Amino acid sequence: MNQLAGRILIITGAAGNLGRATAKTFAAAGATLALVDRDPRALQQLQDELPTGSAFATFALDLLDPRQPVELGKEVRSSLGQIYGLVNIAGGFAMGPTVDETTPEDWDAMLSLNLRTALNCARAVIPHLREAGAGRIVNVSARAATRGAANMAPYCVSKAAIVTLTESLAEELKHAGITANCILPGTLDTPQNRAAMPQQDRSTWVSPDAVADVILFLASHSARCVTGAAIPVYGRS
């Protein structure tokens, strides 16, 4: 079923594990995709994984530069058409020392990677969604947003900020026909997590494909009455 047929959506962090799964799921649902990542070679590899006949364009950008998402929005609008949605997946994770030993640079790195990229992209795309009179914003937070953890304060804080940002966007945009929601994944079953946690029970982890299905729902017409939500996607972890 082509739930997103005729819809143009931007996916950031598209060349990562969750980004690739989401891109393939959205392409199969009929969406036209603007796939964004900072790694042009990884974007090239992603193209080969998409379903035959997929409609997409790729953009290698630095989302920490607020000017580049603005130019992205303009280019997508002119080359692909009216933008319907934004899926903010770009981000990262890092353990660290205790709060008192965490450097300002480490704080800034996590806040920039996880919060500022989403903020820059939302600010750039919202005018296009307002122009369309409808749209979807889906942000990726994390289970870590719900409770602080030792040696993870910058990550937890940055992901908690995504929840608050999403709620603010939902309130500001609810009368413009635009929804804003976020998801809270638990531990994803990725090659990197398997290598980092070889003794863990992977049967309780969540596959990127399963998370992509939740993102697809939030971007679809079926979720038209859902906004300001933070959806747990923990599986059995």
Phi, psi of 33 (to 5 degrees): -115, 140
Catalytic residue of the set 141, 168, 174, 207: 141
Catalytic residue of the set 24, 158, 159, 220: 159
78 is catalytic: no
Phi, psi of 55 (to 5 degrees): -105, 120
174 is catalytic: no
Q: What stretch of H or E contains 164?
A: helix 153-173
**SS3 at position 10:** strand
84 is catalytic: no
Residue 67 · residue 76 · CB < 8 Å: no
Catalytic residue of the set 155, 203, 220, 234: 155
Residues 6+ apart with CB under 8 A from 185: 18, 140, 142, 143, 206, 211, 233, 234
Q: Which residues are catalytic?
A: 141, 155, 159
